[in-house]
Structure 1
Amino acid sequence: MALMWADVLDIAIELVERHPQVDPRFVNFVDLHRWVLELPEFSDDPQRGGEKVLEAIQAAWIEELD
Structure 2
Amino acid sequence: MPREITWNDSEEIGIQLQEKHPELDPLTVRFTDLHKYVKELEGFADDPTKSNESKLEAIQMAWYEEFKDASA
The reply on whether 1:53 has 2:55 as its aligned counterpart is yes
Consecutive unaligned residues of structure 1, counting only runs of 5 or more, are none
State the Cα deviation string for residues 21-43 of structure 1 (Å, max 9, x = none): 00001000000000000012100
State the number of aligned residues.
66
Rg (Cα) greater in structure: 2
Q: What TM-score do the two structures reach when normalised by structure 1?
A: 0.96
Q: Percent identity?
A: 48
Structure 2 CA distance for aligned equivalents of residues 19 and 4 of structure 1: 19
TM-score by length of 2: 0.88
Structure 2 portions without partners, runs of 5+: none
RMSD: 0.6
